[in-house]
């Protein structure tokens, strides 16, 4: 195990472990459940839960605890200072309205993609994703676009440490296959992932650039019965690339060098 620095405060790490135990799948947790998820004793978990409740980040409801709105304060300053979501949202709203599909903007955070903007489809039945949602980068079109923008040493380190999981029968099953998908996304300027993370769901993503750097990925998510992969490539990718170009232009001014291109099948 890597030795921790002398300044490292273990109790801070444990407090965040407790907060991060609460997920969309685990919105209400008991002391015993938190203890199991965080590898703490029940007594320790109870002390952290009670302290966080006293500070207003958690609320006790009978034997269970749940996050409060104050927990949003932790990330609010980051999102407020990150101007890209504010710049991107109008363009993604326009794209969602034109395509009648869900659009989003994601950034890379460690091994995950994190949604910083999400515009639901105008249709009643749409992909249910919110700001702050995380997915493994390797399993998503956004992640493969963002991984393709990493310097080679960082990408290689990622590939050496990532753990693949078969979410569906179509999920990539080897590092070699993943590397090929990332390389393809980099070469053609977009990525499509069909039913690798969830059955019936197809996602397509393109990079959003600042200068020559990829700073985010713009995405359209849709149900597979809505359009074939060929139709998405022909009709959705060019519009998504144009939206990404407009986002980049508003975010950082005219971009020299790389321009999005689309190659027909």
- Quick check: 131 and 103 in contact, CB under 8 A? no
Q: Which residue has the tokens 């932790």?
A: 74
Tokens of 233: 């490539």
CB 201 within 8 A of CB 69: no
pLDDT confidence band for 123 (50 / 70 / 90) = low
Structural domains in the chain, sorted by start: 10-73 (1.10.10.10), 82-252 (3.30.450.40)
The H-or-E segment that residue 160 falls in is helix 152-161
pLDDT in the model for residue 226 = 82
- In this prediction, residue 25 has a pLDDT band, given cuts at 50, 70 and 90, of confident
Give the three-class secondary structure for 142: helix
Digit-coded pLDDT (tens) for 128-187:
677 888 899 999 999 999 999 999 999 999 999 998 988 888 888 899 999 999 999 999
- Rounded to a whole number of angstroms, the distance between the first and last alpha carbons of the chain is 49
Tokens of 139: 């399993």
Half-sphere exposure (Cβ direction) of 220: Cα atoms closer than 13 Å: 33
What are the angstrom distances between the C-alpha of 102 and each of 19, 134, 172, 191?
29, 16, 24, 16
The model scores a pTM over 0.85: no
| pLDDT at res. 82 | 59
Other beta carbons within 10 Å of 130? 10
Q: What is the pLDDT of residues 62-89, one digit of tens each?
A: 999 999 988 888 777 766 665 888 889 9
The 10s digit of each residue's pLDDT in 133-148 is 889 999 999 999 999 9
Q: Is the pLDDT of residue 221 over 60?
A: yes
């Amino acid at each position: 195990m890597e030795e921790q620095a002398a300044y490292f405060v273990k109790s801070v790490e444990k407090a965040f472990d407790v907060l991060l135990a609460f997920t969309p799948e685990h919105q209400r947790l008991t002391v015993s459940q938190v203890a199991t998820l965080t590898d703490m004793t029940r007594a320790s978990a109870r002390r952290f839960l009670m302290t966080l409740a006293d500070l207003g980040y958690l609320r006790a409801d009978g034997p269970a605890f749940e996050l409060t709105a104050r927990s949003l304060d932790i990330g609010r300053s980051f999102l407020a200072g990150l101007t890209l979501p504010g710049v991107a949202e109008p363009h993604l709203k326009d794209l969602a309205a034109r395509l009648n599909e869900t659009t989003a903007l994601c950034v890379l955070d460690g091994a995950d993609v994190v949604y910083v903007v999400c515009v639901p489809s105008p249709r009643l039945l749409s992909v249910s994703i919110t700001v702050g949602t995380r997915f493994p980068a390797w399993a998503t079109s956004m992640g493969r676009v963002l991984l393709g923008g990493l310097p080679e040493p960082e990408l290689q380190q990622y590939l050496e440490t990532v753990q693949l999981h078969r979410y569906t029968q179509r999920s990539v099953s080897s590092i070699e296959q993943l590397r090929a998908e990332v390389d393809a996304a980099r070469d053609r300027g977009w990525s499509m992932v069909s039913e690798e993370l969830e059955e019936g769901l197809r996602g397509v993503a393109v990079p959003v650039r600042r200068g020559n750097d990829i700073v985010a990925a713009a995405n359209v998510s849709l149900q597979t019965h809505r359009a074939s992969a060929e139709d998405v490539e022909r009709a959705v990718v060019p519009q998504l690339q144009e939206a990404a170009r407009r986002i980049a232009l508003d975010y950082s001014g005219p971009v020299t060098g790389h321009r999005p291109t689309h190659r027909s099948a």
